[in-house]
Structure 1
């Protein structure tokens, strides 16, 4: 018998102006969420398995995209085999563990490579993917002084403290023990790690490949002359094109490139930690000009998964958040072009675009299936926020302005449809699709800016202070933002000069 349940996930919300930093303009629209409805959750094909899906149809519907996203989510949250096999990004077999048992002591995605492992510093030595966690910065932090020596080898290293220079975010603002800053980290899977380590294993090689690819896109609207896809161009020297994976029987390499971004914050004493996925993590503190690393327990509040496949070479973008984020007194502080917070500080904000009905239906179906396996799973407290598939310039498309409440909180990122972080609303081209440039929105459009700069949708490869010079701190961000705008301008000028010189020769 099919079961109809009322949809209670994701309430109505109205777009409110959050403002932006001094370098951007604010855009506001009014949106209205659909009324709750009954949904047949058995109509959704939610897969709970140890390995993520390799691909989905090129003409996938919003429902199929949501099903694909949840299949990824469950696979990446499968228990890792690392503690016994010492292999990263590898699940424990289904006999040893499944979601019927307590939640994973170490999830597969946690063992992905951190951004400072992908592009290490001090010295620049790319270790094998399965090496134990190893983090390096241009100026190494010291252990925070105290009776207990903090660990620098934990799998979760929260070295980012802002939303791509747009704003700082805080939880439980004004509450007892509150004003807890949200911290972030980015990781990559084996496919991306090995591709970069094999082909572009020095900063100079990586930067040269990015410049070459950017020049080709500007000249040919392709990653190289004559290319019909942005998949697996390893046969073309000096072109940066991350693996798409594909069926091994058809010559593919299995799982394509996956990048993960997660958002975390400390809980207050009044919060119920059992409702959150929590981990002991590395985070950073400052005294004067010295940066220290320390350990504490943080709770996961948001997650991005982006996955490059054969049918979706411009990546599938999917994002999740804790179901209570809109009840947790979140507040944002906008950053100016120098990286300083500007008043009003920790201002409350509303979700700028409602979660789509099909997304909520998929979450209800996923929760129903998971609850049948484990009614106490912590993942019942997390919901899918949305999925983007094939890029589009149509602003009326479902999830065009895809944003996570705790990862893209202010209007600069949540309403993004521009040609750069400094020009988020100019409707400038930011994405290449089958030989055409278009203006994608939300997560995809923002990452698309890096595609046109030659790094295939990855901010981790963009050449700005890569390898990473230091973990984010208040003082480091002030310098980083100014330098980022200068770096972007120099890169654009360099690419344009190469294109112009080539045209003159003809």
Structure 2
């Protein structure tokens, strides 16, 4: 019965893959913005706030300010501090990009939620804890298990796999096809909040359950908190209220705010211009005779998703960037639907996403002009903002309502999300608790809203769906990932 249900769900998603979405480059909508009116800030620290009610241009400027700060050179090799910029470096420094950037030093999901032992100090060197503690280096390799980039996810929450150069995936095999892999990380503010308040699975589960019940019963994160938001929940109430940017940090100063990044990677081929990509030697996973091993190889960054909680935007600001090439037909991106972790034959489709707004393109052009003036060789001239979203809305005609990244949310489930759960992604039912009440949001914000109603303050990294992580996604134990999300989000409604 479960098998038939998943097949039916996958079939329904595939059948509707051409409804309600557009493919391609730029939408013919958006307000004009003279180049000299666009304010691009390049600084070592990300902004911790933007004005309430910011317009699309201000949101795009904020997104680029985040992007530049997160891609600043990390100070870790000098002082052992993660989520910390090297103030001796700047974007006018020589080279296409630094050897280590700030967001790479954020905590990986298996550091935030270790399967074994306690959460370690945030500044410790990379340390990954899977339930399968027997994972060894691939035979014959000298792979390191302590690299900062650990791309342990190979699908989009279990709904599909994504490949590049896969034009003939539904016909003859393409020897050049490259699977897209992912990793998720959190910044210091989010990590330290969880470590200080809910460092164990049991305590986090209790807080998640309490928060979800409060939202369901009182429309608030905590008792008598209706309309008070989620930035300063009373201590001791056992509810999850991640730190908001521009609010007081008990350790001094103000919070940057909880931030999460999800990155998309793939290996390059002879068809790709390698000089245009940010590349890294990464930690990834392979199988041999049914056994999972770790290995190292050079992968290219093709997508970067940033979500950021601030006082004026407690429902997070969602910004998403991608490599300039990903939407080009010659890249041959195709997603393949999954049933219990196995690819469904004949289901390959081009990614299902919306065009980039002209205003977004103009802000990107302004960011590129400023960056080029500092360093004409910067690798980031090859990356663009795909869109940004702030205050939740139920208006499906609003700018970036269906915000999605071409290589992070590729199939209809995620690219056209506007539902109350992963199993009901298109029913236009409420999924976000905003100050004014429940909202039926769309795109990545609406999808993360499902996690909010589940009690984890918009974070899928804090839920109980396969976490702490037993094994990298390539392992057979992860084949029911989508079904787990469907069950979990259905139970919260």
Distance 1:157 1:247 in 2: 31
Secondary structure of residue in 2 paired with 1:21: helix
Which residue matches 1:71?
Answer: 65
When normalised by structure 1's length, the TM-score is 0.88
8 Å Cα contact 2:189-2:255 kept in structure 1: no
Change (3 A) 1:276 1:234: farther
Deviations along 1:393-433, one digit per CA (max 9) or x if unpaired, are 11111000001110111111111000011100011110000
Q: 1:30: Cα distance to partner?
A: 6.1
Map residues 93-492 of structure 1 onto 2, 5 A cutoff: 93=87, 95-102=88-95, 103-121=97-115, 123-174=116-167, 177-227=175-225, 228-246=228-246, 248=248, 253-327=254-328, 328-336=331-339, 338-349=340-351, 351-473=352-474, 475-489=476-490, 491-492=491-492
The runs of 5 or more residues in structure 2 that have no matched partner are: 1-7, 169-173
8 Å Cα contact 2:471-2:478 kept in structure 1: no
8 Å Cα contact 2:30-2:357 kept in structure 1: no
Deviates more, 1:430-439 or 1:243-252: 243-252
Q: 1:288: Cα distance to partner?
A: 3.2
Distance 2:51 2:371 in 1: 25
Secondary structure of residue in 2 paired with 1:325: coil
Secondary structure of residue in 2 paired with 1:164: coil
Q: 1:57: Cα distance to partner?
A: 0.5
Secondary structure of residue in 1 paired with 2:195: helix
When normalised by structure 2's length, the TM-score is 0.90
Distance 2:489 2:399 in 1: 31
Secondary structure of residue in 1 paired with 2:304: strand
8 Å Cα contact 1:143-1:149 kept in structure 2: no
Deviates more, 1:136-145 or 1:401-410: 136-145
Q: 1:39: Cα distance to partner?
A: 5.8
Distance 2:324 2:198 in 1: 40
8 Å Cα contact 2:422-2:485 kept in structure 1: no
Distance 2:437 2:129 in 1: 39
Q: 1:118: Cα distance to partner?
A: 0.3
Secondary structure of residue in 2 paired with 1:154: coil
Q: 1:463: Cα distance to partner?
A: 1.2
8 Å Cα contact 1:169-1:330 kept in structure 2: yes
Distance 2:92 2:451 in 1: 37
8 Å Cα contact 1:278-1:298 kept in structure 2: yes
Distance 2:436 2:327 in 1: 40
Distance 1:245 1:29 in 2: 35
Deviations along 1:421-468, one digit per CA (max 9) or x if unpaired, are 110001111000015111000000000000000000000001112111
Change (3 A) 1:162 1:30: closer
The runs of 5 or more residues in structure 1 that have no matched partner are: 1-18, 497-506
Q: Pick one of 51, 55, 59 that aligns with 2:49.
A: 55
Count of residue pairs brought into register by the alignment: 470
Secondary structure of residue in 2 paired with 1:471: coil
Distance 1:483 1:353 in 2: 28
Secondary structure of residue in 1 paired with 2:455: coil
8 Å Cα contact 1:222-1:435 kept in structure 2: no
Deviation >6 Å, runs of 4+: 35-38, 249-252
Distance 1:39 1:215 in 2: 45
Which residue matches 1:92?
Answer: 86
Distance 1:36 1:455 in 2: 34
Map residues 26-45 of structure 1 onto 2, 5 A cutoff: 26=16, 28-29=19-20, 33-34=27-28, 40-45=34-39
8 Å Cα contact 1:430-1:448 kept in structure 2: yes
Which residue matches 1:21?
Answer: 10
Secondary structure of residue in 1 paired with 2:413: helix
Deviations along 1:346-390, one digit per CA (max 9) or x if unpaired, are 4334x5311111111110000000000011100000000000100
Deviates more, 1:20-29 or 1:273-282: 20-29
Distance 2:307 2:121 in 1: 23
Distance 2:156 2:408 in 1: 6
8 Å Cα contact 2:259-2:309 kept in structure 1: yes
8 Å Cα contact 2:267-2:300 kept in structure 1: yes
Q: 1:253: Cα distance to partner?
A: 2.7
8 Å Cα contact 1:314-1:391 kept in structure 2: yes
8 Å Cα contact 1:177-1:269 kept in structure 2: no
Q: 1:233: Cα distance to partner?
A: 1.4
